[in-house]
Every structure is written in C-alpha cells, then in structure tokens.
Chains A and B, each alone.
Chain A
C-alpha cells in the first residue's frame, strides 16, 4: 500500500502538463458497423469493400453487404483501410516515462537477479503521456514488460485506453521474462585500445549463469510437484504457469549461442518459448522452426551486426523467418520515438521481402499468437474483440498512414494526445489554422 501512495504522489509531482482532457472512451454496448472498407483481416486475407458488424464490443460478422440496423453506429470506411488494432508485444510503456535521466519517472527495472514474482502490471501508469501517441498511430495493445536481472518478472498485456491498470489488463501475467548472458567478450566502454582479453572467460561465465537458470527451473518444478509447503517460495510459485504452458517464457537474447540455449531450455522443461531480440535469428531460422520457437524482433531500423553483413540484413531478417515458417512478430523498442513507429517497422520488412499482408500479420495476429491472446484479438474475425483501426491509406507507409478511427473492444477511442494538443495550441498562436 505504501508503495502505491509513493507512486501516486510522484505522478502528482511530475504530471503537470497537458493531455489531462483526453479521456478514455465510454463503454459502448451497442451495435457498430464499419462499412465499405478494405479489410486487412490480419491473417493474410484482404477483403475489398467489406463490412464489419460489431455487437457489444465483439465482432459478429465480417462480409459484404451487411445491413446496419437502425440504432447501430455506422462508420463509413469507403476507400479506407481497416486493420486489426496493432500490438506492441514487448515494451516498457507506462513503466518508463522519461527515458534517460529522470529516475523518478522510471519503474521498469527492479533490483535483484532472479525476480520471477515481480509483476509489471502493478506499476503500469495508464496516464503516461506516451500511451496516447501510440493509439493515435493505431497501436491499441501492448505487452508491458519488466526488465533487469536474469529473470525480470512477468509481463501483462494491456489495452491502451484505460483509467487504471486494472481496467487496462487484457491478459494478466502472460509471460515470464528471462535475459540470457552474453557469450562474447565486450571491451569496456571507451576502452577499444585496452586489452580485449578479459580476466574471465565469458563463455564459461555465461554457461554457469545458464546452469543457474536451469537449476532454478528444476527446483521450481520439484517444489511445484508438492502441493503443500512449510515455507512458501514466491519465486517458484510465480513460474507455475510456465509448466502448465499457461504462461510463456520470453527469452531475451540476440546471439546464436543465446538462442541455442533458449532451445535447450524449451526442450528440457517443455516451456512455450519465444525469443525476444533475435537479431541473429536469420542464421538459424530452420532450427527455430523445427523446435517451435517463436521470435519477436525488437527493431527493424538497426545497423547490421557486423561490418561485413549485408547492409540491409536487419531489414530482410523477417523475410528469412517468414520463408522458414517461423512464427514471428515485430516490435518497436526505439527509445527516442517511443514505440510509435511499429507499423513502419513492418513497412520496412515489407520493402525487404515480406508481402504487405505478411507484414501486417507480424504486428497483429502473429503478435497475438505469441502473447497468447489470439482467441480474443489479432485479426478481424467473428468472435474476437472489436480492436481495429481505420487509416485513410496504407498504414505501413508514412506517406499514407493517416489514422482516422480506432476502436478498442468496440469503443471508439480518442486519437488526441499531448502532441496534437500542442500542435493546435501553436497553430493557433501563429494563426495558421
């Protein structure tokens, strides 16, 4: 309790500016029709000039010639593009307000090395000014993820239009996050000319850490096999869902050796494993496919790993995974633009080998599958939540990606945010509008 009080008083001190009049949308239980749009289902299909019928926040039907009932709300999407709400799968959104220097605004990284019982959701700030800028770009769901240490804790999927974190939670504690140690020697910062040879062998150290992780899971498994305990171990209790595969294990790592360790962990414990980062996954795509390991690529706009790599390697990695049949999603972890360019990351992947629909799937249905929410969202199909976005043009291309409407569970959410407000404020000052 004390913690919350502290948290709230901090917010009271830092949130002083703008956007306080951008409200979460009111519940809408009635009928809603989106008519005449080009519907990008999210599973690769495109339906031209089609309609979506929504009732009580759920998609009832997708087809052509659906007749809106008299009391229904109707959104004319003629000539427009309709997409499932975009999903940002792994993010510190709402946990880190001001990247960099303002410590008081940060709640994403806890002390300690093995923290499986840490839960991101309890610190998730629905009033973060970042959130509304994502909605304005069509990003409607996000996996809120803790960082730090070896086991950082559990993430929760949230929808981005909420009054508080309990409203926001879409799937609680969907995944446990593990960060694998690096297998390459890094010279210390500023020390290129200093000896590269480390005092310790990084491979040996990494393997020791990996063993420590495995020992943790082995002992957790034994502990969980027993129903009663003299002393409760919260850390073991927290990973229960991994063994029943109700939770996913998200393993963070980029290097091939880290990914091989992830495969090894998946095999030994039977976990449902996703590799987050995976910039080198193109080297072992078929191996990932064989082992049913899914992948979340953090960033499309990045430099090649080595100076000899193809200059467009990061751009075309998704196409390699697609070809190999790996289930993958794209993410946006860019610290300076704060995650609002997810769809442009997909656009880059489309420019370098994916089809546009595959690229859309990589930020909608694939992400939902990996996060374990595909029964409720990720595509525009009957039975799913009405999480959708209407854009005047191709959402993947900055030339045309103009978002006109966004709906979460059938509620039309505001596209206003602090940035649009400041825009209007100064356009007014200069008499430009």
Chain B
C-alpha cells in the first residue's frame, strides 16, 4: 500500500509567500514557545576566506556575511556588521553547498510487495482506495511535500558529503507525483521546505504496485503513453469517468520540470521517446553506462542527472569464477568511471547525484575517480550547484554564494574536490553542522609539553603532533603517543614500554585546546594526579596536495554493441562481387551453378557469369553456395520484454518500444545465416502486442534494427497459454477455448464501435491505444500472426475474422494446420510452423512432423520458424526435415525459411530471394544449405558483411586477450587492497513465449512466463 496522497493544490503561492516572510520578516510564527522567547539574528561574518561564489567566480580574501539564515553579503573588503560573530577563515575555502536532484530524503520507504507468486491469481484492479486512477502504479497525486519529514540520521551523511539541498520524491511507481525541494537542516519540517512542488516524476518501473498490469517494460511504456492521452481527455470532463484525482493531478503537474528515471542508456532513450511523443522534454536520471551510446544520448537533448556509482572490481582469481563474468561486465567495470566525463565531453547538460551509491560517503571519492577519467572539476561544481538549482527553479535561493540566498555553504580546508581537503563545516540555513571540526586549525607541529605533579615537580617533553590522531612524545627517546584531537578536546597517553609490547603504566592526559595553548589534567605512570599544558612552538611544513589527478592506465575501447563480438567502429556498405558460387535464387531460375552476384549500394545489382566490378570487394564463392538470408517468422530475441500477459487484450503494447540491439543472440543467429527476425509478443494472452520485424544489423541502435517500410503486425494467441492452463487458480478470463473466441468477438465488437465513434466525434472520444490497433486490423492496415495449435481454435478464429471482414494473415506454430489446411487456404492465411515439435503439452499431442509438407502440398504458403534462440541458429536444418518427413523438394524446403516468410511478412518485394533489385541479404554457405554439415561463412545484410568466419576467428582471439587483460587488472586491483566484490556471473535473460519447456543454460534465465516482473 502506498502511504499517502491527498490535499488539493492551490496553496503553492500562499506557501511560498509564507516562506519568504519566514526568511525576511521578523521571526514570527504560529508556533507557541514553551518558555522564554529567544529571538536571535544569527549574524555571522566569515572573513579572509577564499569564496567560491559559483563554479566560475572565486574571490580571494573575501568575507561572507549571513543573517537570519540568509546570505546578506559576499565580497572582498567588507567590514563585518557590528553584531556579527566574526569567524576568521584565513586559508579556508567557502563553497555553496551541493544540491542533489535525485533524492528520497525524508520520504517514507515504499513498502515492497511480497515476492510475486507466479501462480497466484491476477490482480486486475488497483488496491488503492479513493477516487484515483485505475492503475496502482500511476499515482501522480502523490505529493512529496505531504510525505516529507526531516530525518537527521539520513541528512547527516549527505551533509558530510557537502550537500545542503535536495529534491526529494517518492521513488515508487510509473507516475510518481511531485518532488519537494528541502534543505538538510535539522530544523522543523516547516522551515526546511524550499519549494513545495518543484518537479514531477516518472519511471517505467511499477515499483510496489501489486496490480498485474503492467507486467513488462513495454506494458509500462504503453501505460505511461495511455496516461498522457487519458489526462488530455480528462480535461473534457468526461461524464463516465467521474472524478479522477490522479488524472487531475497529472494535468496540474505538467507545468513543472518533468523528471524521468532512465537508469541506463536504454532506459534513458525509452523515456525520452515517450516525452517526444507528448511534447515533453524530460530531465533524465541517467545510469552508469551512457558512454556506451553517447551519440544517441546526446541526441535526446535532455539534461541528465548523473550518478557516480561505479562498479567494484570482482574477485576473479578462481578461473572457474572468472569464466562466468562476461567481457562486457569487465569492460564496464573499467570504463564506467568515464561516464560523467563522456557526458560532459558530449556537451550534454548534467547534474550529479549521490543516488545509487551504497554509501553516500563514497560520493566525493567516486567523483575524484570521475575526474581521473575525464570529468572536469568546474563542470562538476556547476553540476552540483547552479545547474540543479536552475532546473527546479530555486537558483534564487540556493546554488551560489549571493546575497539573498539561503546561507547554505561549506567551509573547507582547500579546493573542495582535492583529495586532502576536508569539509570542516556545512552550514545550512545559517546553522553550522560540524563535519570535521578538527580541521579548523592546523594543529600539526611541535609543542612544549609540561606535566606537573601535585608536589610541583614537573617534566618537560617535546610533543610532535603529526595529525589529529597521531603524535609522538619526545623525551630522551621518542615515544609513540596515543593522541586524539576533535577540534576542542585533547587526549594523549604515552610512556610505558610502548613499542610492540603491551604498553604498561602510561601517562594519560586529557584537556582542552584554546588556540595555541592547551591544558588539562591526568595521571602519570604511577597513577598520581598531574596537570599539564602545551605551548605551540613551530608548525610542520604542510604536505603539498597533489592537485593533478592520476591518469588511468590503458583503457579498452567502447564496442558497438557493448559485447565481445561488437565492433569498435560500425561496418559500412561496400560493393561486393561474389564469384562462382552455386546460387539458390528462389526464383524460377532455381539453382544457378558457377554464378556471380554483384552487390551495389546494399542491393543485388546483377546476377550472371563472369561479372566484373572495379572497386568491388571480391569474395570467392567457388565450391560454396549463396542463398538469400534466412527469415525467422517467429522470434523473441533482441527485446527487453516479450509478454504483457496481465490482461487478455494488450494490443497497445509494442515490441518496437523495447528492442534490445545488444542481445548477443543477434550475432549468434547471423552466424546461423539469419538476416531478418520477426520479433513477436509472447503467447500469454489472446490479443498480445504489436510485433516488430528487424534486420540483424549487429551494432546499430534499436531504431536501426527495424525493417523499414514494413506493414505492421500484431501477435494473437489461442489455446492453453491464453487460458493459463498451467495456473492452478486462474481468474483471468478466459479459461476455455469457448472464452477465447468470445474475447476476440468482444474486442472486435468494441473496436468497431470505437471506430465509428472516433469518426463521428473525434474529440469527444477517448483515444484508446488498445482499440486503435484493433481498428487498424479492421481497416487492413495491421496484420495478425496468431499462435495456434488445434483445429477447433483455428477454425474459430477464421470465423471471427470472416465476421469482421479481415484475414488472419499467419497462423504461427499451427501444429494441427494439416487438419484444416483447406479452411486456411480458403481464408487466405499463411502457415508458420515447427518442423518436428510435439508432445510438450496437451494441445500438441497430434502434432506431426509431416505438417509442413501436407500444408505445402495443399497449396499453403508455409514457413518454418524458430521461437527459440538456438533453433534459429539452424533453421536451414529445420527446413531440411521436410525433405525427410513428406518428401518435399530441397528448393521448396529452403523457401520455407526464406521466400515464404518474406511473403507472409509482406516483404517479398525486398527480401527472400536472389533477384536484381532486392536487398542484398545473403548467406554464403560451405555446403548445401539444407545439410547438417553446412556452415555460414558470411552473412550479409544490406550489402554489409555482419558475420564473417574469418573475422569471427580473429574476434575469438581478441576476446581471449581482452578478457585476460581485464582479469589481470582486476586481480591487481584486489592485490592493491582495493575492495572487491565476489565474481558475479553475467546472466543473460532469454525471453520466450512462455510457451514450452525451456532450455535454461547455466547462465541464462528464462523469462517466458506471463507473470514475469522484468522491468528492464
């Protein structure tokens, strides 16, 4: 359950003026005083300081004056006001305190839902009580200022790191509500709020919401998108919606700075694209890996909030542990500290945050690491002061040392980012918070120590203070003393027989420091009372701070994608001339022996004998076979989520929203001769999500993967999965094939009504992304590929389609297609099936390996698909099984994984055969491509060789070398005494339909189920 929501808006102006009064007026408040009033001005003057007013202005020997919690003056040559307490800051630096925009300081901890029970019934509605949104993860009405309560235990580490002000919000849910700017003062909550409604926050993580929807990343994206539309529509005061406080709040918040939690390179882009759709430029909370796609990140034109949470080295001394850590993870360890610098270098405006750090106190040391790896100090200071203050509209109050602003500043012993510099005090709203008081005064040096016994006998020593925690006492010998100084109190013991042996009978002294003279009392080695004093004689020359940052040693290259098999620069198109191969044209010409194929500008330019093309790269195809690239009609690779199974109709979700161009399966499948894959939504629900056809352009970004100018498709599913057969207590309609048919009829009935209403009253009708997709089907603009098995359900869908006037484009899986080949042909469907799968569930008991052959003989356009990242690597072999089962010709069999899927996907005009003018998506095989012995030697997409056996051989060596370099580097890091974490195996999530028994590898996690909670 969420904690609180409530309270109408409209008090923002009033509150701000109250705040102003509190600061500038007399200290009147509504709060009664229990006792005698004690009004004070708190006027202080800090003199002779180096004032760093902002990142670009530094005043030497200057004075800062504060009064009543505000800065009243900051300049050189000021005379302190008469009533000021003067603090001599000779040798000290004063900086504006830092600002962190990504905090949950003072927020209640969102209550984590109990671990999801995959077999539990679905929660279809929100558990939140009140007139709020239908979805529990959308709660823009959450108001951080109402939840806020100061928490000194949490404030302390932030203050000690240099922060004075934070923007705090409840980090929970998709629409998270507003953020509040507060100081870290230990004062009443009323006084520390700087700006009540400073920002609105969003993410794609449903957080503590227990509601089933959304159950996937693309579901979260669809939900946020629909919420924008709903909020817009809510402005028309729709009668049937009643009062929706969430949508009301959502609309009110749109004028505030909008902050989106991206958390990594892909998440950033996902958010920015949603923003673009609705004219919103988010401020984006980044992660640690933006350097891996810096060009795309810069193109967002967003301001980033950048964490400095760099991974630790791992303990990889055991080779069996090291084996499971991927090169990508090791490279990221090496390169993550370059992230802030890369962001600065790319000209991206940014702030810095201590969020994500396990320990806030690591902030400055992490930041120094970022300096070593390219971040500049000026940019960092700007990113901690002016930039964040300006972003949330509080630069008039914080972010620099200027009169009128809150007296939030740091007193430091030197330039704030230097390693040896200490923050002495962090002043917030005019009140000091000690950080390292002992650094106020340089106490290192030599003192004359006189210890006097009760009888008046005294002993004199030389006290050599080496630091606030170490001193030697010199008499005849040098004795290591036990010493401590906290800025005020002194404790010292010495004597006995120190050394390595247990000290016995030492002299113990304690006392106070007043300037250069110290005194106090104690006991001597005999236990007699003594008094003592120490007088300063001379200082120890200070150790110079190494201002220059260490440079990191050799760093590896950023690869595209960030994987061992990635490129350090993307390959480009070039003319190719493949000579003297056996060419499987898939056209009427059939197989052509000793034939050349010329590729120009990514297209097949010429097919013939003895071709020549000056400037083209010649590839010898002698003894080899050249075929069109394999097209996989049914795949689940290269996506962050596949199933949005929380509802029976989710046509609003789009695979295209969450493509993952870095999935190593792209490369592996290129190595199996695949050039295009149709990435389908899973089969968890009757009407699944919108699909995406991609080309396997390994290295490009997600947009670059998309097959351009393609008719959009959508995934449907029937049978066991959609009726949740494996669930013991299904409560999601439907539970039978009877219900499945009705879900379809109902959805298309609603879509038809919606289509009509949108035409009649476009403005008054709520735009419904779910129904939009179904209307596209009705209008023959979107096409269905439907997971299906048994003949009853196939016929049922055909009849629904007939009734609503569309054609089911493709039946996929369709293992009983052979029983209804006649009906499918009459209806005009394509078939896409497995070669020889069966008996993995009840509904495939009648599956037969002859299915493809029967359907093909009957005249259907038949494809063989993978639905599995391994099977996709040998679809050629799968096709060949129809030669064995049913006696299909080799040419026809090979078409089932090339031309036929191209036809089924409406792209046969561009791919699927070797024909002049078509895309140069080609595979050069070592052998007959239907043979188990055939290996792809080159796989070409758009005329670019994306897989090459020779390059692959070289990459194996490179990967081994680079792995070895990084393992040695991590081991060296461990040996140097740096903290290391245990080797964390680099798991790879294999997404699947949620369909069949999975093939979980040692390092793969199968996420097929419809209830999975994989947010990213």
With a cutoff of 8 Å between Cβ atoms, the chain A residues found around residue B1004 in the complex are: 303
Q: Which of A191, A257, A312, A335 contacts B671 (CB 8 A)?
A: A312
Minimum Cβ distance to chain B for residue A391 (Å): 10
Q: B780: CB under 8 A from chain A?
A: no
Whether B987 and A193, one on each chain, are in contact in the complex, defined by CB atoms closer than 8 angstroms, is no
**Which of A196, A254, A280, A422: most chain B CB closer than 10 A?**
A422
**Which residues of chain A (274-292) have a CB below 8 Å from chain B?**
279-280, 283
Whether A303 and B848, one on each chain, are in contact in the complex, defined by CB atoms closer than 8 angstroms, is no
Q: A72: CB under 8 A from chain B?
A: no
A335-B997, A398-B880, A426-B818 in contact; A304/B668 too (CB < 8 A)?
Answer: yes
Q: Which of B324, B845, B884 contacts A306 (CB 8 A)?
A: B324
Whether B850 and A190, one on each chain, are in contact in the complex, defined by CB atoms closer than 8 angstroms, is no
Q: Which of B563, B834, B881, B1006 contacts A307 (CB 8 A)?
A: B563
Whether A430 and B854, one on each chain, are in contact in the complex, defined by CB atoms closer than 8 angstroms, is yes
Whether A100 and B838, one on each chain, are in contact in the complex, defined by CB atoms closer than 8 angstroms, is no
Q: B335: CB under 8 A from chain A?
A: no
CB-nearest residue of chain B to A196: B984
CA distance A340 to B840 in the complex (A): 13
CA distance A393 to B819 in the complex (A): 30
With a cutoff of 8 Å between Cβ atoms, the chain A residues found around residue B819 in the complex are: 426
Minimum Cβ distance to chain A for residue B961 (Å): 12
CB-nearest residue of chain A to B320: A256
Whether A426 and B840, one on each chain, are in contact in the complex, defined by CB atoms closer than 8 angstroms, is no
With a cutoff of 8 Å between Cβ atoms, the chain B residues found around residue A336 in the complex are: 834, 837-838, 840, 996-997
Among A155-163, A345-353, A408-416, the one that faces the other chain is A345-353
CA distance A427 to B851 in the complex (A): 10
Q: Which of B839, B841, B854 contacts A129 (CB 8 A)?
A: B839
CA distance A193 to B959 in the complex (A): 26
With a cutoff of 8 Å between Cβ atoms, the chain A residues found around residue B822 in the complex are: 430
Q: A189: CB under 8 A from chain B?
A: yes
**Which residues of chain B (968-1016) have a CB below 8 Å from chain A?**
982, 984-990, 996-997, 999, 1001-1007, 1009, 1012-1016
Minimum Cβ distance to chain B for residue A312 (Å): 7
**Which residues of chain A (174-203) have a CB below 8 Å from chain B?**
183-187, 189-193, 196-197
Whether B323 and A306, one on each chain, are in contact in the complex, defined by CB atoms closer than 8 angstroms, is yes
Minimum Cβ distance to chain B for residue A132 (Å): 12
Q: A364: CB under 8 A from chain B?
A: no
Q: A101: CB under 8 A from chain B?
A: yes
A350-B933, A398-B880 in contact; A307/B328 too (CB < 8 A)?
Answer: yes
The range of chain A's interface size is: 35 or more
With a cutoff of 8 Å between Cβ atoms, the chain B residues found around residue A191 in the complex are: 1013
**Which residues of chain B (856-914) have a CB below 8 Å from chain A?**
857-858, 869-871, 873-874, 877, 880-881, 883-886, 890
Q: B753: CB under 8 A from chain A?
A: no
With a cutoff of 8 Å between Cβ atoms, the chain B residues found around residue A279 in the complex are: 1001-1002
Whether A101 and B720, one on each chain, are in contact in the complex, defined by CB atoms closer than 8 angstroms, is yes
Minimum Cβ distance to chain A for residue B301 (Å): 28
Chain B 827-852 interface 0/1 with A at a Cβ cutoff of 8 Å (1 = within): 00000001011111110011011100
Q: A337: CB under 8 A from chain B?
A: yes
With a cutoff of 8 Å between Cβ atoms, the chain A residues found around residue B323 in the complex are: 256, 283, 306
Q: B667: CB under 8 A from chain A?
A: yes
Whether A308 and B834, one on each chain, are in contact in the complex, defined by CB atoms closer than 8 angstroms, is no
CA distance A191 to B874 in the complex (A): 30
**Which residues of chain A (352-405) have a CB below 8 Å from chain B?**
396-399, 401-402
Chain B 562-590 interface 0/1 with A at a Cβ cutoff of 8 Å (1 = within): 01110000000000000000000000000
Minimum Cβ distance to chain B for residue A80 (Å): 15
Whether B327 and A308, one on each chain, are in contact in the complex, defined by CB atoms closer than 8 angstroms, is yes
**Which residues of chain A (60-100) have a CB below 8 Å from chain B?**
97-100
CA distance A191 to B1013 in the complex (A): 7
With a cutoff of 8 Å between Cβ atoms, the chain B residues found around residue A192 in the complex are: 987, 989, 1005, 1014
CA distance A280 to B1005 in the complex (A): 18
Interface size on B, residues (CB 8 A): 87
CA distance A257 to B959 in the complex (A): 24
Whether B886 and A311, one on each chain, are in contact in the complex, defined by CB atoms closer than 8 angstroms, is no
Q: A2: CB under 8 A from chain B?
A: no
With a cutoff of 8 Å between Cβ atoms, the chain B residues found around residue A419 in the complex are: 838, 848-850
CA distance A301 to B874 in the complex (A): 9
**Which of A97, A190, A255, A398: most chain B CB closer than 10 A?**
A398
With a cutoff of 8 Å between Cβ atoms, the chain A residues found around residue B1013 in the complex are: 190-191
Question: How many cross-chain pairs have Cβ atoms below 8 Å apart between A and B?
Answer: 202
With a cutoff of 8 Å between Cβ atoms, the chain B residues found around residue A338 in the complex are: 838-840
Q: Which of A100, A183, A257, A397 contacts B841 (CB 8 A)?
A: A100
Whether B1003 and A305, one on each chain, are in contact in the complex, defined by CB atoms closer than 8 angstroms, is yes
With a cutoff of 8 Å between Cβ atoms, the chain B residues found around residue A337 in the complex are: 836-838
Whether B850 and A423, one on each chain, are in contact in the complex, defined by CB atoms closer than 8 angstroms, is yes
CA distance A226 to B489 in the complex (A): 78
Minimum Cβ distance to chain B for residue A319 (Å): 14
Among B603-611, B681-689, B708-716, B924-932, the one that faces the other chain is B924-932
CA distance A341 to B932 in the complex (A): 12
A99-B839, A101-B725, A305-B1001 in contact; A399/B869 too (CB < 8 A)?
Answer: no
Minimum Cβ distance to chain A for residue B604 (Å): 27
Q: Which of B845, B870, B1005 contacts A98 (CB 8 A)?
A: B845
Whether B1002 and A305, one on each chain, are in contact in the complex, defined by CB atoms closer than 8 angstroms, is yes
CB-nearest residue of chain B to A100: B841
Q: Which of B818, B933, B959 contacts A347 (CB 8 A)?
A: B933
Whether A307 and B326, one on each chain, are in contact in the complex, defined by CB atoms closer than 8 angstroms, is yes
CA distance A83 to B984 in the complex (A): 47
CA distance A283 to B1003 in the complex (A): 16
Minimum Cβ distance to chain A for residue B820 (Å): 10
Q: B116: CB under 8 A from chain A?
A: yes
Whether A340 and B836, one on each chain, are in contact in the complex, defined by CB atoms closer than 8 angstroms, is yes
Chain A 90-120 interface 0/1 with B at a Cβ cutoff of 8 Å (1 = within): 0000000111111000000000000000000
**Which residues of chain B (803-821) have a CB below 8 Å from chain A?**
818-819, 821
A-B contact pairs, 22 of them (CB 8 A): A17-B846, A101-B720, A102-B841, A130-B839, A184-B985, A186-B1005, A190-B1012, A190-B1013, A192-B1014, A193-B1016, A257-B320, A305-B1001, A307-B328, A307-B563, A335-B840, A335-B996, A337-B837, A344-B877, A422-B848, A422-B850, A426-B854, A430-B854
- Chain B interface (Cβ < 8 Å from any Cβ of A): 116, 118, 320, 323-324, 326-328, 563-565, 664-665, 667-668, 671, 720, 725-726, 818-819, 821-822, 834, 836-842, 845-846, 848-850, 854, 857-858, 869-871, 873-874, 877, 880-881, 883-886, 890, 928, 930-935, 952, 956, 959, 963, 982, 984-990, 996-997, 999, 1001-1007, 1009, 1012-1016
**Apart from A129-B839, A397-B880, A420-B850, what are 5 other A-B pairs with CB-CB below 8 Å?**
A283-B323, A308-B326, A422-B848, A423-B850, A427-B854
